[in-house]
Chain A
Amino acid sequence: MTKTKYLIIGNSTAAVNAVEAIREKDRLGSLCLVSDEPCHTYSRPLISYYLGNKVEEEQLFYRPSSFYYLNKVQAFLGDKVVSLDCANKQVVLDDRTGIQYEKLLLATGGAPFVPEMPGQNLSGVFTFTTLDDAQQVKKFIASHQVKKAVVVGGGLIGLKVTEALLALDIQVTIVELADRILSATFDRTASRIIERALKGIGCACLTNSTVKEIREGEPGRVGSVVLKDGTQVDCQLVIVAIGVRPRVDLAREAGISVNRGILVDEHLKTSVDDIYAAGDAVEAYDLIAQAARPIAILPTAARQGKIAGYNMAGAPKAYEGGIPMNSVELAGVPTISVGLTDPSTLADGERRNGMEVIQDYREKDSVYKKIVLEDNRIVGIILVNKIDRAGIYTGLIKDKIDIASFREYLLKDDFGLLSLPREYRKHMVTGQGIEI
């Protein structure tokens, strides 16, 4: 039985940032890391770039190859943790190795969700969340001369795959259940701009629709999909990108409190002492929703991994809460969305008084800026085509700054620190040890 002071399950964003935080505080304590993926830590969001031949395989790595060595990490790669025994503080791997820990981090991330569909086991149907998925899809495309593909799901991952497939000269049809693409992060106007841009580069978006069945073409392989209205769309490849759910089985079976994600307190500790959790697997405080929510994005996974690492290494630090956000460039259109972007979609109980929207939509140039306010504080933004200096807004959201005195400047193209009150500007820059 291996014994270790720190044990991390996972090898991605949350895990890597936890390793770095632990090593900042404790250079020597033994540290083991286990992942069921066999490869060195890589950037998950880059797999669509890899599929579209925009980056080489060697460029996918999230940290240099010396990472485990320099951080004195004993890495078990390609090993799955099959059970966790909280009382005896140990885990068992699929090859029956046991590892005993003092402090454990569950950084188990998410797993793709696939609804039941007839034909889902045909060759040519894939999900798209791991490097292995990307390699499989790449191989399949190369060996089967794929000309047409259907992407199920018009969310972020679906659209990123779409871009990659388009770059490979494959004709893509997106099938989306909602009445527009990117409905979770965008409002109607922003969705429309992106839909238009995608159509401009030859991609079909079928909204209010879903795949009822996947049909066989050549024996054992995908030939078409049938939509809910009966339409048949020919294709040789289907990517199911409906969503990712927190991977919580291990925690649940071990008796750790789980809701949609693993539940954690403000130090990212789970319901069991000495066990922490971070990243896509957890449900931690969301500053905008003002409640615990899973936020499956990389910056949140990094932040939580880091905070959990500090706490595990005995340097207490509280997690401030996260904000859902994303930056994506689709069909050549850069976009950024942060926080609450569309109050009109909130359920009655969630809508709060004092919410208002200010916006600037220049239809001809497809430029769109929208700011959602609540009691004179920014709670969300959407920026399309003009995204420079977007982080200034994100900072104002995080710091809950009252914008009443500079509201008129918010949407201006030259909005900058000079538009902010002198005192706050001073604080921003001196906060980091610098006088202004």
Chain B
Amino acid sequence: MKRIVIREEYCMGCRLCEIHCLVQHSKSKEIVKAYKGEFPKALPRVLVEEQGYLSFALQCRHCEDAPCLEACMTGSLHRDAETGAVICDENKCVGCWMCIMVCPLGVIARNTEGKKAASKCDLCAGEKMPVCVQNCPNEAITFEER
């Protein structure tokens, strides 16, 4: 499947990926509304970790043997048959955080503003390329067949 490849040595810690991800997963897909006018506010599904000079952008790896799929008690987490991506059906999700307990990369966020729901990378279903990759100015994340 096509996966996001992380190249930590190119990451500048600008966090543009987080902004594009949040906007992409908002209802309006407009930056001002996405940040200021929507309830519940979308969360970025990519996380930039930073410590001193070191930084990198991390999102779900869509693991082949994914522990989150086994831990999900409602069946909201499932693998998309076409893309192979691990997707959360947020309507079905009840926010029990079993998935957060087992994801070894810590890339599932809790959205608690409205109805509780797990928030995670869906590889921007419908887009040719995830928006974080499209908008990274330094190619610190790329989208490749692996």
Contact = CB atoms under 8 A, between A and B. Distances in A.
A394 B98 CA distance: 12
B75 A327 contact: no
Contacts of A419: 51
Contact of B97 (A54, A334, A416): A334
A68 interface: no
B106 interface: yes
Contacts of A44: 73
A43 B4 contact: no
A433 interface: yes
Interface size class of B (residues with CB under 8 A): 35 or more
A161 to B, nearest CB: 15
B58 interface: yes
A434 B47 CA distance: 17
A46 B73 CA distance: 8
Interface residues of A, number: 45
B73 A43 contact: yes
Interface string A390-418: 11101100100000000000000000111
Nearest to B55: A418
Interface string A141-183: 0000000000000000000000000000000000000000000
Contact of B71 (A298, A417, A435): A298
Interface stretch (A244-252, A299-307, A348-356): A299-307
A336 B98 CA distance: 8
Given A62-B74, A302-B71, A434 B106 contact: no
Contacts of A302: 69-71
A429 interface: yes
Given A417-B49, A434-B4, A434-B61, A387 B100 contact: yes
Nearest to A323: B102
Contacts of A30: none
B109 interface: yes
Contacts of B68: 391
B104 to A, nearest CB: 3
A336 B63 contact: no
A332 to B, nearest CB: 10
Nearest to A416: B49
A292 interface: no
B110 A388 contact: yes
Interface string B72-111: 0111000000000000000010111111111111101110
Interface string B1-20: 00111111000000000000
Contacts of B54: 418
Interface of B: 3-8, 47, 49-51, 54-56, 58, 61-64, 67-71, 73-75, 92, 94-106, 108-110, 146
Lowest 4 CB-CB distances: which A-B pairs, in order? Answer: A395-B104, A389-B106, A391-B103, A302-B70
23 contacts: A46-B94, A55-B94, A327-B96, A327-B97, A334-B97, A336-B97, A390-B100, A390-B106, A391-B68, A391-B101, A391-B103, A391-B108, A392-B105, A416-B49, A417-B49, A418-B50, A418-B54, A418-B56, A428-B105, A432-B64, A434-B61, A434-B146, A435-B6
Given A391-B105, A432-B64, A435-B7, 6 more contacts: A43-B74, A329-B97, A338-B101, A418-B49, A434-B3, A434-B146
